[in-house]
Amino acid sequence: MLENKLIQPLNVSYSSDEAGSERADEAAKIVASGVNVSYAGRPAITNVNLNIRSKAVTALIGPSGCGKTTFLRCINRMNDLIETCQVSGSITLDNEDVYGDDVDVVVLRRRIGMVFQKPNPFPKSIFENVAYGPRIHGQANKGDDLNEIVERSLIRAGLWDEVKDRLDAPATGLSGGQQQRLCIARAIAVEPDVILMDEPCSALDPIATARIEELIDDLKTKYTIVIVTHSMQQAARVSQRTAFFHLGELVEENEAKVIFTNPSDDRTRAYVTGSIG
């Protein structure tokens, strides 16, 4: 599960940004309090309380099966698609409960985009993939508006130069890394506030991974990003805040540097030094 190199002490440069530490209670984009999730009555995560900073990258780490994906999918209510899944507690986006009675998941998910573990471009052209979101949401239907959105999103996802000559080619013909960046472009095309990423690099080679990491670093100026990752190095490189999950609990959340160098909980320490997981 852990990459071998992580067993050694970490010697990566930490992404230190203003958003990181100081203003701890400030600009909380998403606030989860007392979140419990169970599948068919079997609890998956219990009592998670977590503030997620605006315009910063928050990484969720933890051993397999600890509930990272489950928590992530609570935020944009993708768990609604699983019939056996039960969520309690509250999660707010800009102080508004996403599980509130009058919340429309269509609106919610337009504001909270998602990128999945395995690149999942639609079997359509590159252009149509990016245009999909703006089209369904009526943000732009055709012509220059749409072209502009597609171009802007592809540029922002760092894919434009590679595909600008073949926008009509099928997206499934792209390489894995390109596909994943296309999925990111697709997500940002609808202008969300938040982007959730579930192990976006786990199916990619190191070079493609590096490109995505760079991209994430760029994107945080505009978006709030929550990323699940199994790579501690990645978490350290891209995130300002890191949350460690273990057995369905949120053990510890802090500035990335603190989590990786001086965690307060033994379990966190054990995990980041590679002795559990």
Ligand X SMILES: Nc1ncnc2c1ncn2[C@@H]1O[C@H](COP(=O)(O)OP(=O)(O)OP(=O)(O)O)[C@@H](O)[C@H]1O
Which residues contact ligand X (rule: CB under 6 A)?
39, 44, 62, 64-70, 82, 84
Which of 275, 254, 248, 235 is closest to 68 using CA atoms? Answer: 248
Q: How far is the CB of 202 from ligand X (least distance, A)?
A: 9
- Which residues in the 49-88 window bind another protein by CB under 8 A? 76, 78, 81
- Which residues in the 215-244 window bind another protein by CB under 8 A? none
- Which residues in the 182-201 window bind another protein by CB under 8 A? 183, 186-187, 190
- Report DSSP state, residue 157: T
Q: Which residue shows structure tokens 């909380």? A: 28
Helix (H) or strand (E) holding 61: strand 57-61
Nearer residue to Mg ion within complex by CB, 65 or 100: 65
Binding mask 90-129 for another protein (x = CB under 8 A): ---xxxx-x-x-xxxxxxxxxx-xx-x-x-xxxxx-----
Structure tokens at 147: 């072209």
CB 91 within 8 A of CB 99: yes
Among 63-71, 106-114, 142-150, 262-270, which window interacts with Mg ion (CB under 5 A)?
63-71
Nearer residue to ligand X within complex by CB, 124 or 267: 267
Q: How far is the CB of 68 from Mg ion (least distance, A)?
A: 5
- Which residues in the 129-168 window bind another protein by CB under 8 A? 132-133, 136-138
Q: Could you say whether residue 69 binds Mg ion (CB under 5 A)?
A: yes
70 binds, among another protein, ligand X, Mg ion, none (CB under 5 to 8 A by kind): ligand X
CB 245 within 8 A of CB 62: yes
124 binds, among another protein, Mg ion, ligand X, none (CB under 5 to 8 A by kind): another protein
Nearer residue to another protein within complex by CB, 87 or 190: 190
Q: How many CB atoms lie within 10 A of CB 135?
A: 17
Spatial separation of the C-alpha atoms in residues 236 and 12, rounded to whole Å: 7
Q: Could you say whether residue 39 binds another protein (CB under 8 A)?
A: no
Q: Could you say whether residue 231 binds Mg ion (CB under 5 A)?
A: no
Q: How many residues bind another protein (CB under 8 A)?
A: 40
CB 131 within 8 A of CB 108: no
β-pairing verdict for 57-61 and 42-53: unpaired
Spatial separation of the C-alpha atoms in residues 240 and 257, rounded to whole Å: 8
Helix (H) or strand (E) holding 80: none
Q: Could you say whether residue 79 binds Mg ion (CB under 5 A)?
A: no
Q: How far is the CB of 40 from ligand X (least distance, A)?
A: 6
Nearer residue to ligand X within complex by CB, 86 or 261: 86
Cβ within 8 Å of residue 172, ≥6 positions away? 121, 123, 179
Q: Could you say whether residue 27 binds another protein (CB under 8 A)?
A: yes
Q: What are phi and psi of 151, to 5 degrees?
A: -60, -45
CB 45 within 8 A of CB 248: yes
